[in-house]
Amino acid sequence: MRLTDDRYSGERSQFELALRMIRHEARTRTIRECTGLSDDRIRKLYATYFRDSGNNVIKRRRGKSPRQVTRYVKTPENQLQATTLVALYCAGLLLRIDQEDRVHACWPRPDVEFGHRLCRAYETYLLFHDNASLSFEWAWNLLQCISYNEELYLAHCRGCNARYVQDAYALDHRICPACAMDIPAKSRPLETELTAI
Ligand SMILES: [Zn+2]
């Protein structure tokens, strides 16, 4: 009996995560990686809960996740939003920053708990930014890119001392996006929270 209960609650958690990710328009592949559900089951869930229910607002994305780090640093606004996401990943224990400001992934491989933490971080990010410009897939991609410490890294602002997401191949003026945008200290979304832990 116990085994059945555990299996049931495990499956329920997988389904809940799949529905949560579909709502964010995550790609099938991303949902599969986190939930462990087959493409076929994901398609059926989508069909049952979204397509056939008359809810046509949610689109199902196919193919690979986008990969172009310039998206995160294209404008100070995007840079600020990417920095908010990284701070939320740290708060959700998906990432850790060491004393040298290098970023480390804390989760060995995606699973259901990882997926829920990713969703929670993304949902909080949406609350912080009315004009959110990064989709769920861009957020997922950022989590991976920043933990490689290759194309993206955490730079250090000479004005306010905050860390911010920066392109490793761009000229860095050591001015964080919030200082560049002249955002008063008390209205800055989480940027100053990005410190080594
Ligand atoms: Zn600054």
| Total residues belonging to the chain | 197
Q: How far is Cα 9 from Cα 177, in angstroms, rounded to an integer? A: 43
Q: What is the mean pLDDT of residues 118-146?
A: 95
Quote the pLDDT of residue 8. 74
Q: How far is the CA of 57 from the centre of ligand 1 (A)?
A: 38
Q: In this prediction, what percent of the chain has a pLDDT beyond 90?
A: 66
Q: Residues with Cβ within 5 Å of ion ligand 1? A: 157, 159-160, 162, 176, 179
Tokens of 129: 């930014």
- pLDDT tens readout for residues 42-93: 999 988 888 766 666 667 666 666 668 999 999 999 999 999 999 999 999 9
Q: What is the model's pLDDT at position 57?
A: 67
Residue 49's identity, in one-letter code, is Y
pLDDT top residue among 196 and 79: 79
* CA nearest neighbour of 134 among 10, 13, 16, 25: 25
Query: Using alpha carbons only, what angle is made at residue 16 by residues 14 and 20, rounded to the nearest 5 degrees?
Result: 115
Ligand 1 centroid distance, CA of 162 (Å): 6
Average pLDDT over residues 172-196: 81
pLDDT at 115 over 70: yes
The whole-number pLDDT of residue 118 equals 97
pLDDT of residue 4: 62
Q: What DSSP character marks residue 101?
A: S
